[in-house]
Chains A and B, each alone.
Chain A
Amino acid sequence: MRTPDFAATRRDLVMGATLTTAAVATPRRPGARAAAADTPATGPGAPVMKIAFTVNGAARTLDVDTRTTLLDALREHLDLTGSKKGCDHGQCGACTVLVGGRRINACLTLAVMHQGDEITTVEGLGTPDRLHAMQAAFIKHDGYQCGYCTPGQICSSVAVLEEIRAGIPSHVSAELEARPQVTPAEIRERMSGNICRCGAYSNIVDAITEVAERPA
Chain B
Amino acid sequence: MKPFTYERPASPAEAAAAAARHPAAKFIAGGTNLLDLMKLQIEAPPHLIDVNGLGLDGIEPMAGGGLRIGALVRNTDLAADARVRRDYALLSRALLAGASGQLRNKATTAGNLLQRTRCPYFYDTNMACNKRQPGSGCAAIGGVSRQLAVIGHSEACIATNPSDMAVALRALDAAVETIAADGATRSIPMADFHRLPGDTPQRETALRPGELITAVTLPAPVGGRQIYRKVRDRASYAFALVSVAAIVQRDGSARVALGGVAPRPWRVEAAEPEVARGAGPAMRAILDGARPTHENAFKVTLAERTLGAVLAEARG
Contacts and interface: CB of A to CB of B under 8 A. Distances in A.
A18 interface: no
Interface residues of A, number: 46
Contacts of A105: 32, 102-103, 106
Interface string A113-129: 10100000000000000
Interface string B68-106: 000000001001101001100100110011011111011
B48 interface: yes
A166 B81 CA distance: 12
A126 B101 CA distance: 23
B3 A108 contact: no
Contact of B103 (A67, A188, A193): A193
A112 B100 CA distance: 24
Nearest to B93: A176
Given A105-B106, A108-B106, A177-B86, A169 B92 contact: yes
Nearest to A69: B35
* Interface SS, A side: loop
A3 interface: no
Nearest to B237: A192
B80 A168 contact: yes
A159 B80 CA distance: 15
B199 to A, nearest CB: 31
Contacts of B6: 47, 49, 66, 110, 112
Nearest to B29: A113
B3 A66 contact: yes
A45 B3 contact: yes
A113 B85 contact: no
Contacts of B106: 104-105, 108-109
B172 to A, nearest CB: 15
B50 interface: yes
A179 to B, nearest CB: 12
B160 interface: no
B45 to A, nearest CB: 11
B4 A163 contact: no
Interface in A3-27: none
A39 B310 CA distance: 46
Specify which of B36, B48, B50 lies most central, judged by the most chain A CB atoms within 10 Å of its CB.
B36
A93 interface: yes
B164 to A, nearest CB: 10
Given A108-B36, A169-B80, A96 B1 contact: no
A47 B5 contact: yes
B101 A38 contact: no
B28 interface: yes
Interface in B1-52: 1, 3-6, 8, 28, 30-32, 35-36, 39, 48, 50, 52
13 contacts: A45-B3, A47-B6, A66-B5, A89-B39, A105-B102, A105-B103, A108-B32, A110-B28, A156-B102, A160-B101, A169-B80, A169-B85, A171-B96
Top-3 shortest CB links A-B: A193-B100, A192-B236, A46-B3
